[in-house]
Amino acid sequence: MKRQMSEARHDECKNKPHYFEMFLSEADKTKETIVRNKPKKLRLLWNFAKAVTKYVYSGLKNVSEKVYKERLSVCETCVFRQNDKCLHKSCGCSLTEKAQWKSEECPEGKWKE
């Protein structure tokens, strides 16, 4: 049944160009979906507790100023960024803090160091 519906939608996109345009406009809603699916408060608390624990166990080490700026520049173009927050489901952190901590990583694996 699902396959038939999928094939029917595919045919609609092939034969009716405005259907394809509607599909593309749905892609614009990605940011809206990310904001809607951002981590809930309990998940934020859990993620923060894990991050602080890792930071403390690492000896409270920070990255160099150069690495910090590189990390933030990577975050500037990320779809999960909203102001100073990372809205990734496994994060929700303040980027100005997270980017400083050597023990932290980008949830999408975009930070080099």
Closest CA to 113 of 65, 79, 81, 76: 65
In angstroms, rounded to a whole number, what is the distance separating the alpha carbons of residues 111 and 67?
Answer: 9
Q: What is the pLDDT of residues 72-97, one digit of tens each?
A: 999 998 888 888 888 888 888 899 99
Stretch 46-63: mean pLDDT, rounded?
Answer: 94
C-alpha separations of 66 from 28, 45, 50, 78, 84 in Å? 33, 29, 25, 19, 19
- Reduced to 3 states, what is the DSSP secondary structure of residue 30? helix
Q: Is the pLDDT of residue 19 over 80?
A: no
Q: If you average pLDDT over every residue of the chain, what do you get? A: 80
Going from N- to C-terminal start, the domains of the chain cover: 1-29, 38-113
DSSP of 67-88, one letter per residue? Answer: HHHHHHHHHHT-TTEETTEE--
Contact partners, residue 74, CB within 8 Å, separation at least 6: 106, 110, 111
Number of H helices, E strands in the chain: 6, 2
